[in-house]
Amino acid sequence: MRLLLPSWLLVFIHTFILTIPGFCQVETPPAACVANYRIEVKLDTLGKKLQGYETITFVNTSAKPADTLFLHLYPNAFQSDSTIFMKESLLPERFRRGKEYKGSINIKQVEIGSGFDLTGCWIIDETIMKLPLSQPLSPAESVKIKIDFTVNLPQIFMRMGYSGKDYMIGQWFPKMAVLQNDGKWNAHQYHFNSEFFADFGKYDVDITVPANYLIGATGYLTEKRGNQDSTVTFVFQAEDVHDFVWVASPDYLISKRTVDGIEIDFLYKPEHAKAASRILDAAEFALRYYDSSFGKYPYRKFTIADIRIGWGGGAMEYPMLVTCVPSDFPPDIIRLDAMVLFHEIAHQWWYGVVASNEFEEAWLDEGFATYSESKAMEEKFGTKANLVDLWGININDENINKLTYLLDPQSDPPVKNSWEFMDYLSYRANVYSKASLLLQTMGNYMGKEKMDELLKGYFQRYRFKHPRTRDFTRLVLEMTGEDFDPVFEQVLFGTGLCDYEVASIRSEPVKSDSTQGGFQTEVLLKRLGEVVIPVDISMEFASGEKIKQTWDGKERWHRIEMETDSKIKSAIIDPDDKIALEVNINNNSLTTEAEDSAVLKLFTQCFFGLETFVHCITSF
């Protein structure tokens, strides 16, 4: 059943809502509404289906006329085990074969403009639908597309579907691809390693579900009305967003908090009731921290949905809503909840508002979100042990980034089409971790204040836009005056490693028979990796004197020779740990006298561990 309001009433409601104080608290003009959606959808819990009807108003913002429209039909990724998505996936065999894991979207009817029926004219290639237009759509011209569709929901294993009575509905409706300024469509298939890219727009979505269901969704709930068939319709509105997601469950409980005018809703399953306050605490902290670090969160509503529903439920970002799974780990010992939430909430800035192309340059949102998460963890829990504090083992968020990076640092550069990475490990290592370590390194070089200013400037300039890598690198030069381009070239577009070494140190008396004369000191430095970054070198002498130098790192090796009053004691490259990308900090320093105590302590602990191990394996 479709409920259509008269257009004059819609205009009135819209005008009325706009007059509500705080509804449009934006600092700069909102996003260009390229694709606006009016969707009515009904959840069929028995048939595990969505019955939907949408009207898309699409504006050609390119410089050229468009004779075909491209739309994404993401649910078709699950239609068989031979789709690109399923072939690329590393999912267990049961997900490929099981009928319950199959999902698809069926297009029943398409009308263009004022009733021109395109039914049967479309071309569907898995997750992409092409709609040939009878007349090209000129620049700045808009068109209305009405689509009647049905989605067959799979049992969830990847961001969309059901698990028992619970539903996670992401990437579910026919969605416009992005028409670039040059008149070409940026429309890629749904790949296993890839997330999404879309234009900003306005969403008016009516969701009808059984009366006992509670819903969380992108946008503001503007109306909830009961229907005669024991269903209830939730009406959501969202502006300046580029996607719309919703979750539904009859078991959801809700916990609310208001932070600086933003209403935070946490929808959770009863078994996670104890986690509610800590999840809301983490969200409150993250929203405030990112607000002050990057710029104001532009909406008045933020929803967190507990989505422990099957294998595919997990942490994921959507505009104005993130999903998470409250962790079973003791939150004071392993702060997994905070880490995951800080990451997903950072995506509200780096994805939600600064909307990069996740198909082609995923590092711009994943790398930035990972870096932001690290900084938030430091701010909230300190620099040491901010992630794990267990039995004397202190691990911080940056350690995990480094570890992930080192799992596969050389297969792919961060800037690459997501589906062209060798595998998910390489994607994760480079897009998330290497990119984050690069930002960390930049921050260490330019200083915290400058880095914060840079990110604020980036956010302000590109909010509600789609910046590319080159936009960011240009902005770095413009705002900081520092030329990081050579580093960007090597790190973002290359697969080289950063590894500096103090190869040798020695001091010889200037005269062999002299006891009071000076010493000829020599320090040999080597660049073992391909990445060239200027490095600091600190040398300490027996007299306590310290000398600092800088090496541009351009050559493969560099010898420092000098006459000194006393013998050299030690030399260290990058003494302030600026280079987060360094792959082996253990060769960054050299001492003339061995640090036996540390090695002995480490070994005695390991030795006792081995004795205990031997005791255990011989105890049966």
Partner 1 sequence: MKHILVSFMEGIKNVWATKYLIGIMLIFKLVTSLILGVPLYLMFSTSFAANIKASNFLTGFNPSLVIDFVYYWRRTLSIYVFMFILTSILIIIAYIFLSGGFWGVLRDQAKRRVKDTPTVTSGSGTEGFFAACGKYFGGMFKIGLLMIPLYLFAFLIWLIFIAILGMVVGEGSLWVLTSWRTISKILIALILYFCCNMLGDYLRIFMLEKEDDHIWVVIRKAFRFVWTNLSSTLCLYYLLSIILVGVILFYGGMYKLVSGISPTGIFIFIAFLLQQLFVVFHSFYRLIFYSSQMSLYVRISDRDDHPGEDLDFKMEMRGE
Binding residues (CB under 8 A) for partner 1: these are: 328-330, 334, 392-396, 399, 402-403, 406, 570, 572, 582-592, 594-604, 606-608, 610-611, 613-615, 617-620
Q: How far is the CB of 388 from partner 1 (least distance, A)?
A: 9
Contact 266, 275 (CB under 8 A): no
Q: How far is the CB of 569 from partner 1 (least distance, A)?
A: 10
Nearer to partner 1, 243 or 499 (CB): 499
Q: Which H helix or E strand runs over 375?
A: helix 363-381
d(CA 279, CA 33): 33
Q: How far is the CB of 59 from partner 1 (least distance, A)?
A: 50
Nearer to partner 1, 36 or 441 (CB): 441
Contact 174, 106 (CB under 8 A): no
- Which residues on neighbouring strands pair with residue 303, listed in sequence order? 265, 321
Q: How far is the CB of 342 from partner 1 (least distance, A)?
A: 19
d(CA 64, CA 139): 6
What is the DSSP-derived secondary structure letter of residue 242? Answer: S
The token pair at 476 is: 């770095």
- Strand ranges for 456-545 from DSSP E: 500-509, 519-527, 535-541
Nearer to partner 1, 473 or 584 (CB): 584
Q: How far is the CB of 547 from partner 1 (least distance, A)?
A: 15
Nearer to partner 1, 46 or 594 (CB): 594
What is the DSSP-derived secondary structure letter of residue 330? Answer: -
Q: Find, among 342, 300, 351, 298, the residue nearest to 324 by Cα.
A: 342
Q: How far is the CB of 391 from partner 1 (least distance, A)?
A: 9
Q: How far is the CB of 141 from partner 1 (least distance, A)?
A: 56
Nearer to partner 1, 370 or 589 (CB): 589
Nearer to partner 1, 63 or 614 (CB): 614
Residue 460's Cβ-count burial label (10 Å; 0-12, 13-18, 19+) is: middle
CA-based torsion, 433, 439, 442, 443: positive or negative: negative
> Which phi and psi (to 5°) does residue 243 adopt?
-160, 165
Residue 209's Cβ-count burial label (10 Å; 0-12, 13-18, 19+) is: buried
Q: How far is the CB of 433 from partner 1 (least distance, A)?
A: 12
Residue 142's Cβ-count burial label (10 Å; 0-12, 13-18, 19+) is: middle
Nearer to partner 1, 493 or 607 (CB): 607
Contacts of 493 (CB under 8 A, 6+ apart): 413, 415
Nearer to partner 1, 407 or 510 (CB): 407
Nearer to partner 1, 4 or 403 (CB): 403
Residue located via tokens 């697969």? 495
Q: How far is the CB of 491 from partner 1 (least distance, A)?
A: 17
